[in-house]
Amino acid sequence: MASFRFSVLVITISLVIVTAYSTLDADETIEFGYVGPKGPDKWGSLDPKFAVCADGKAQSPIDISRTKATPNNQLRALSRDYYSAGAKLVNNGFNIAVHFDSSAGTMNIDGKNYSLLQLHWHTPSEHTMDGKQLDAELQLVHKADDGSMSITGILYQVGNGDSFLGRVQKHLKELAKDKCGPNEHSEIPLGNLSTRQLKRSTRNYFRYTGSFTTPPCTENVTWIIFGKPSSMSQQQIDALKAPMEEAYKMNARPVQPDNGRPVNLHDEPKKV
């Protein structure tokens, strides 16, 4: 009798172990979130590959202080040459993005060309300006041939509609019908998408060295933050949130310590 009980116990324990193991196995893509046990303050411990999210000394986003930024006349006007490219609208589960099939043009920084590969939105904004968080942030992700990364951040406040978002907005409705979880991915082909509206010029921008704002939080990203916010309508902000699961509708990582990193400012005088 005692031995029978013992085997039942062993079998039960094995089942518990097998169940626990297969749960881990099925969940191979480790997800991260913006609230609760997978929230930003836990990212560093969710996966060894995410360690820099917690240990990194040059993480993004940060607060951009206009008074503390250093005007730097070595910085040149932003030079961007974007063109139309095949694209798809993607729900990554943690944000909405446009992925280009091939480069949609280049941005030149210090003589080096960075190709525009994808762009995505965060609501509300991730970078803050003088402590103020705005309603949304568009991030344009560029990569140079040598692998270095540069991301342009444009902050938005509620106001007039944004014309680039206007072009993809009706497809957000289709994405919203096909809600997906953080480990899933759904996409809609957009055909040949014009990026002309993204070339909006800016007289001033901030530049600093930071990281990806989502795991694995890779550092050494050259960030360019437009000095002047843009606007999008409340309806557009709602449209960006509609396809997202409740826990990802607010998908801004909180600002990180700047650890004394310099923030440079390029400020062109007004043309007269």
- Helix or strand holding residue 193 (H, E): strand 186-193
Site membership for ligand NAG, residue 197 (CB under 6 A): no
The one among 59, 60, 139, 222 contacting ligand NAG by CB under 6 A: 222
Full DSSP string of 53-97? HHH-SS-S--EEPTTTSEE-TTSPPPEEEE--EEEEEEE-SS-EE
192 binds ligand NAG (CB under 6 A): yes
Structure tokens at 7: 């085997």
Q: Which residues contact 261 (CB under 8 A, 6 or more apart)?
A: 58, 62, 208, 209, 210
With respect to ligand NAG, which residue has the nearer C-beta, 37 or 147? 147
CB of residue 110 to ligand NAG, shortest distance in Å: 8
Identify which of residues 38 and 112 has a Cβ nearer to ligand NAG in the complex.
112
How, if at all, do strands 230-232 and 112-122 pair? unpaired
- The distance of closest approach from Cβ of residue 157 to ligand NAG in the complex, given in angstroms and rounded to an integer, is 30
Angle between helices 234-241 and 163-177 (to 10 degrees): 40
CA distances from 209 to 10, 189, 193, 263, 264 (A): 55, 33, 30, 8, 10
Rule CB under 6 A: which of 103-122 touch ligand NAG? 106, 108, 113
Tokens in use for 2?
Answer: 């005692």
**How near is the Cβ of 27 to ligand NAG at its closest, in Å?**
31
**Least CB distance from residue 86 to ligand NAG, whole Å?**
6
Closer of 92 and 211 to ligand NAG (Cβ): 211
Give the whole-angstrom CA distance, residue 165 versus residue 180.
21
Interaction pattern, residues 144-163, with ligand NAG; x per rule: CB under 6 A:
----x---------------
When computed from its CA atoms, the radius of gyration of the chain, rounded to whole angstroms, is 22
Continuous segment of H or E residues that includes residue 45: helix 43-46
**Position among 65, 72, 84, 183 found at the interface with ligand NAG (CB under 6 A):** 84
Can you tell me which of 133, 183, 186, 194 binds ligand NAG, judged by CB under 6 A?
194
Q: Which residue, 209 or 231, has its beta carbon nearer to ligand NAG?
A: 209
Least distance in angstroms from the C-beta of 144 to ligand NAG: 7
Minimum distance, C-beta of residue 220 to ligand NAG, in the bound complex (Å): 4
Token pair for residue 27? Answer: 């969940």
Residues paired with residue 149 on neighbouring β-strands, in sequence order: 143, 221
Count the Cβ atoms, other than its own, within 10 Å of residue 22.
Answer: 10
Least distance to ligand NAG from the beta carbon of 64, Å?
19
Nearer to ligand NAG, 196 or 200 (CB): 196
Q: Does 220 bind ligand NAG (CB under 6 A)?
A: yes
Binding site for ligand NAG (CB under 6 A): 81, 84, 106, 108, 113, 148, 192, 194, 220, 222
